[in-house]
Amino acid sequence: MSHITLIRHGQANTGATDEASYDKLSPLGHTQAAWLGTHLREARDFHTRLYSGTLRRHVETAASMETGLDPVRDARLNELEYLTLAQLMHEQHGIEVPTTQEGFTVHLPQVFQYWKDGRLADTPETFDAFETRVAAALADIAQGQGPALVVTSGGVIAMAMRQALGLDINGMARIALAIMNSSMHRLFPIGGTWSPVLFNAVPHLDPPDRHEARTHV
């Protein structure tokens, strides 16, 4: 097994209310990704492979990082459709879509739990299907030669941590809520299983003049 560094995409279109309009980087998102790429080059953090989901924000992040690696795009690394699930929660259970950060922190674990329990009809995919595709994608990447960079989304990273640490739904939701844009999360194989050795790292945003670029949405 090769170690994997998961990277959340840069800031996307934060004002969006549907999946399609959300799926593009903001100007800050491009800058975050470029800063991360510069950090990796200057730190000589060596990777031989680059993977990303097929969503526009994944592709744009990988391009702005300028790693010099040819990306392999894999739809199994695409995000869960939170905005779609939130709309289904509203239509089927009368639970309003939040408009504040405080509301979002309560709403996300609710969505995850209803989704996992099969209490939402007509979802784009089941929770089990999402869990299975994330595990399969990472297992396939791990079989390759050399360390890999994987540009993806917060939900995929949270699921990877759930699988590595045996987290329940509330734990997975807390992980998802914490993940910053352009952050790094490393899974290292120890004894044939994944062990997280890095979580939510943003060294490229450490300079004082970049602190305001530490975004979650």
pLDDT at 96 (0 to 100): 92
pLDDT band at 101 (very low <50, low <70, confident <90, very high): confident
Cβ proximity of 31 and 51 under 8 Å? no
- pLDDT, tens only, 109-145: 999 999 999 999 999 999 999 999 999 999 999 999 9
pLDDT at 100 (0 to 100): 85
Residue 174 pLDDT more than 80?
A: yes
Euclidean distance between CA atoms 23 and 43, whole angstroms? 30
Mutual orientation of helices 82-93 and 101-116 as an angle, nearest 10°?
Answer: 80
pLDDT at 155 (0 to 100): 97
Residue 39 neighbours by CB distance under 10 Å: 19
AA letter at 179? I
Domain ranges of the chain: 4-80+125-203
Quote the percentage of the chain above a pLDDT of 90.
83
104 Cβ neighbours under 8 A, 6+ residues apart: 98, 177
What does pLDDT average to over the chain?
94
Residue 38 pLDDT more than 90?
A: yes
What's the pTM? Answer: 0.95
- pLDDT, tens only, 16-36: 777 888 889 999 999 999 999
pLDDT band at 147 (very low <50, low <70, confident <90, very high): very high
Quote the percentage of the chain above a pLDDT of 70.
100
Euclidean distance between CA atoms 37 and 116, whole angstroms? 36
pLDDT at 177 (0 to 100): 96
CATH of domain 4-80+125-203: 3.40.50.1240
Collapsing DSSP states into helix, strand and coil, what is residue 193? strand
pLDDT band at 200 (very low <50, low <70, confident <90, very high): very high
